[in-house]
Amino acid sequence: MPFTAQELANIASAQLSHYMKGPALNQTIQERPTYDAMRRKQKTFSGGDGFIKRNVKGDFTTRLRGFEHDDTVSYDNPANIKQARFVWKQMHGGISVTFDELKRDGITVTDSLSGDGMSNHSERELHVITSLFQDKVQDMGEGIARDFTTFLWQDGTADPKVFAGIKAFIVDDPTTGVAGGLDRSVLTWWRNRSLVGGNKITASTSLQTLTKTLRKEVRQLRRYGGKPNYIPCGSLFLEKLEAEVFEKGYYTQQGFINKGKNDIGMAMISMQGVGDFIYDPHLDDIGESARAYFLDTSKIKLMVMEGEDFKEHAPARPHDRYVIYRAVTWTGALVVEQMNCHGVYEVAA
């Protein structure tokens, strides 16, 4: 089958031309702090019937009552355990490269079946600028990380074959809908906190409205044992918060000085008693630059099946095609074990 125009352009880019030598100069790679934070904290599970299950409880039946002499007393029979269920999903990302492309890249495949062994031609450096195969592998890694980040921030409705992300559980209106199989409208304790839309916060450098509101909210998020420790936010939210924090201090050569222990960095603001606000560019990408999410990463976490965390695959090539395949798969879900320790907050533009 002849090369497509895209394949020819890719080969041409990897051969001698007027470009600089070295890796392809990526122009659109940005930081993914939420992806990194969630991946660092992920836990494993062993498998099962398609669900990751967690027993949760927010109601209590047993009561303490007074009595005298030989009063008849009553006994309670608690039955308040609920089971949250999260569907685990399987995801795949892979690349292919033809033997023809590799030859043009100065590479000979020494193991024709699986493509495991490769050797570079002598004087290859004279005509190769960017390793085509290396670029394809890097493209796979970056592309998979981008999509995983997208899935992590979605609510799972865009693609039923992808795990439900943060916005499936930390929602604008926590009084309605079902999360993990449990009805929020009935279980008041199975709700996140939310100040968005009509309840959004109007920042004020003079009144310190945003910082005061956030301090009050953190007290509520910690009320039932929550410990929100990760706060991703969009650029507008960070700017509004920065304006209020900066109003109470000033910059010096030694850093940011004020009466408390707040600190301003290029992509982070730290507030004493609240936490570190981390700029996540993806929130800007999805139109949520004015928002911040308060997350307790011990209560909302990625669960990956044992042995299936970006598992590598090198399929044998078909007998009738000189093509090499490389892939990774990931199997798991985002799981929430407590809702009332998370919150979403929005500032007015």
Annotate 248-289 with DSSP letters as a single string.
TEEEETTEEEESSS-EE-SSEEEETTTEEEEE-HHHHHTT-T
Q: What is the pLDDT of residue 36?
A: 92
Token readout for 285 is 């990408």
Domains and CATH numbers, the chain: 31-56+82-346 (3.90.1690)
pLDDT for position 272: 84
Q: What is the pLDDT along the chain (349 residues), one digit of tens a residue?
A: 454 556 545 655 554 443 434 455 566 678 899 999 999 999 999 987 899 999 999 999 999 999 999 999 999 999 999 999 999 999 999 988 888 887 777 777 666 555 455 555 555 554 454 577 778 878 888 899 999 999 999 999 999 999 999 999 999 999 999 999 999 999 999 999 999 999 999 999 999 999 999 999 999 999 999 999 999 999 999 999 999 988 765 444 444 445 444 554 556 788 888 999 999 999 999 999 999 999 999 999 999 999 999 998 888 888 888 888 888 999 999 999 999 999 999 999 9
Query: What is the CA angle 149-151-157, rounded to 5?
Result: 160
Q: What is the pLDDT of residue 21?
A: 44
- The torsion region of residue 88 among left (phi > 0), alpha (psi -120 to 50) and beta comes to beta
| C-alpha–C-alpha distance, residues 301 and 304, integer Å | 10
Q: Is the pTM of this model over 0.75?
A: yes
CA distance 340 to 8: 54
Element spanning 109, H or E: strand 107-109
DSSP conformation class of 197:
G
